[in-house]
């Protein structure tokens, strides 16, 4: 069964590979590998959407109280006949809400290229109510495919609290050409490949033991967006950039 609605708080950190390795060892008594992938490891590839005015980018960059983004996501190697997920990620007052519906990748492309108002007749999805919300969001903002973002994820889940997840994302890359996500996870690194993006995802508060580990290892908290940072690399001559406040990009800092 596909989990279609998530509500949680997220904390992001930019850490070194050594910090990552130590933290994984420290977490072992408290955490277990995510049930997906091989020992919690899998590749995430997402097609992100924006419009000609880059409204999604600016809403995210300016940290509006309410902001949202649309993406089409697959995991590991998925071909045109495989399963994808349309997702709307919303953020309001630092609370993240993610709504998603499963859809065959071939059907997702059909919707992207020739959208129809007859959603329930034309497309096979796991949740038509969420798909209607996605369709309304796309029409309202006039959203079209913008870029592909990929990374290799190592994910953990708390043994005691299933709502606590910790993920480590490495080898973050993006591309603006060949936007068919089944083509693979290749692209240009938009964060120093020696660094790892750590995300702590929890419904309420971060447990004290994890807070202490993060403090002892001097993990640096960052609020920057993968979406914004990758788009700035791909369109740095068009978009305003303050790289010192964002993730460390390749060749910068």
> Does some domain include residue 29?
yes
> Does some domain include residue 250?
no
- The neighbour count for residue 105, using CB atoms within 10 Å, is 20
Triad 214, 219, 223: Cα angle to 5°: 110
Q: Which domain holds residue 131?
A: 5-245
What is the structure's pLDDT at 238? 63
Which CATH number is 221's domain given? Answer: 3.20.100.30
Considering its fold, how many domains does the chain have in total?
1
With the CA atoms of 177, 183, 186 and 191 taken in that order, what torsion angle do they form, in degrees rounded to the nearest 10? 70
Question: Which tokens is 208 given?
Answer: 């004290």
Q: What is the pLDDT tens value at each position of the chain, 253 positions in all?
A: 556 788 899 999 999 999 999 999 999 999 999 988 899 999 999 999 999 999 999 999 998 999 999 999 999 999 999 999 999 999 998 799 999 999 999 999 999 999 999 999 899 999 999 999 999 999 999 999 999 999 999 999 999 998 999 999 999 999 999 999 999 999 999 999 999 999 999 998 899 999 999 999 999 898 778 999 999 999 876 665 443 344 444 433 3
> Does some domain include residue 94?
yes
What is the structure's pLDDT at 243? 39
> Does some domain include residue 64?
yes
> Does some domain include residue 252?
no
Q: Is residue 147 classed exposed, middle or buried when 0-12, 13-18 and 19+ CB atoms within 10 A define those classes? A: buried
Contacts of 11 (CB under 8 A, 6+ apart): 199, 200, 206, 221
**pTM of the predicted model, to two decimals?**
0.91
What stretch of H or E contains 86? strand 83-92
> Does some domain include residue 216?
yes
> Does some domain include residue 70?
yes
> Does some domain include residue 251?
no
């Amino acid at each position: 069964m596909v989990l279609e609605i998530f509500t949680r708080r997220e904390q992001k950190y930019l850490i070194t590979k050594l910090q990552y390795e130590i933290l994984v060892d420290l977490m072992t008594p408290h955490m277990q590998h995510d049930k997906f992938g091989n020992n919690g490891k899998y590749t995430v590839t997402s097609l992100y959407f924006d419009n000609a005015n880059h409204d999604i980018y600016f809403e995210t960059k300016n940290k509006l109280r309410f902001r949202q983004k649309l993406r089409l996501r697959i995991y590991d190697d998925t071909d045109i006949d495989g399963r994808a997920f349309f997702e709307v990620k919303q953020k309001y007052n630092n609370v993240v809400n993610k709504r998603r519906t499963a859809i065959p990748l071939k059907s997702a492309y059909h919707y992207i290229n020739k959208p129809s108002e007859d959603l329930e007749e034309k497309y096979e999805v796991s949740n038509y109510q969420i798909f209607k919300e996605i369709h309304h969001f796309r029409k309202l903002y006039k959203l079209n495919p913008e870029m592909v973002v990929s990374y290799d994820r190592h994910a953990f889940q708390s043994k005691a609290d299933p709502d606590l997840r910790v993920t480590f994302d490495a080898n973050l890359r993006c591309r603006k050409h060949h936007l068919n996500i089944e083509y693979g996870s290749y692209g240009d690194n938009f964060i120093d490949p020696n660094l790892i993006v750590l995300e702590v995802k929890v419904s309420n508060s971060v447990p004290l033991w994890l807070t202490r580990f993060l403090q002892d290892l001097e993990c640096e908290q960052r609020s920057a967006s993968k979406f914004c940072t990758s788009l700035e690399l791909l369109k740095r001559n068009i978009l305003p950039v303050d790289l010192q406040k964002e993730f460390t990009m390749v060749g910068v800092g």
